Amino acid sequence: MGDNVVYISTTAGVYALDVAERQVLDTPQLATLRSTLVSQVAVRDETLLAAVPELHQVHDMMSWKNSVNSSQAACKPGLYVVNLHSREPAAAAAAVWHGNAKSCAVEKAADGSLTYYVGTEPADVLISSDKGGTWLGTDSFKAIPGRRCACEKRS
């Protein structure tokens, strides 16, 4: 993809937008995320991360809920990685972490390696320096008041 392309997360998946032409591009590598609620994307070089959150009762009130409901099972909640060079839709989006992903980031080190970050609910940030093979949490979030998921029943 060119320099004039931005990637947008929506309630209906991830889309590539040609900024100069103001047109949504046909991007087969993003097809597996179509009709999926994606809360955030992060792009570095040719790697795209997509955060897919859990659907909760509050989402039942949203107008887009019915369009997401049937296909959300194909993209379970978690963090997905997409190689933007790939032209193979079947292998385009791979889950690298399973859970309630709310946000994501990707960082490139001086040696060219990538570090993935996923923001979760309850509040935490998990970090992977091996493309999602292993994840480390950040204990500092455990002390934050109100850290529990707002959707959990309180006793």
What pLDDT is stored for residue 121 in this prediction? 87
- Bridge partners of residue 149, in order along the sequence: none
How much is the pTM? 0.82
Strand order across the beta sheet in which 78-83 lies = 40-44, 47-52, 78-83, 93-98
DSSP strand pairing (93-98 vs 114-120): unpaired
Residue 66 parent element (H or E): helix 65-69
Q: Please, what's the b/e burial string for 67-79 (b: 16 or more CB within 10 A of its CB; e: otherwise)?
A: ebeebbeebebbb
Residue ranges of the domains in the chain?
Answer: 5-143
pLDDT tens for 69-114 read 444 445 899 999 999 887 665 557 899 999 999 999 999 999 999 9
CATH code of the region 5-143:
2.130.10.10
